Amino acid sequence: MFLKFPFEYAEIEGLGRLFYPIAKLDLKTIYGYREFDFLVDTGADVTTLPVHILPVLGIEKDKCKVSYTFGVGGIKIKTYEFLLPIKFGRLELSITASAVDAGANSMPLLLGRKDIFENRFNLTLDSKQKMVIIKKN
């Protein structure tokens, strides 16, 4: 099984045009499975979502395990841990995820390594084809 997603680009002041590895994956919501854009983040231990999306997923923040993680610069961040039903193509699985309160700031959905890139899937950033490729092992 292969999933392929074209690179997405943004103009970044001082750096120019950069690609962002975006994967479009389905999450189980209160409305059924819906497609969401995830930034593939090999630096993220677990898949991370903004806390405001939890009600759409049918997940109650108060029932999540509270934990802490460290962000860029060693900033300690409170997280809410849960299992996230997700689809990779036709394959349905539940992965470890966490939610963070980003406040008024926007944050992308981050696709982390845990339960995905450890032993289930390979990740290729193909600069020749300009594609993000996720392949089942």
Percentage of the chain beyond pLDDT 90 is 78
**Is 102 a residue whose pLDDT tops 80?**
no
Which tokens in the block code for residue 117?
A: 């890139």
- Looking at residue 22, its pLDDT comes to 96
> What is the residue-averaged pLDDT of the chain?
93
- Looking at residue 35, its pLDDT comes to 97
- Looking at residue 59, its pLDDT comes to 96
HSE-CB of 72 using CA atoms within 13 angstroms: 1
Q: Averaged over 88-116, what is the pLDDT?
A: 90
- Residue-wise pLDDT for 37-61, tens only, equals 999 999 899 999 999 999 999 999 9
**Is 72 a residue whose pLDDT tops 80?**
no
Q: What are phi and psi of 61, to 5 degrees?
A: -55, -40
> How would you class 119 by CB atoms within 10 Å of its CB: exposed for 0-12, middle for 13-18, buried for 19 or more?
exposed
**Is 119 a residue whose pLDDT tops 90?**
no
**Is 137 a residue whose pLDDT tops 70?**
yes
**Is 107 a residue whose pLDDT tops 90?**
no
Closest by alpha carbon to 22, among 4, 49, 40?
40
- Prediction pTM value: 0.90
**Domains in the chain, ordered, with CATH?**
2-136 (2.40.70.10)
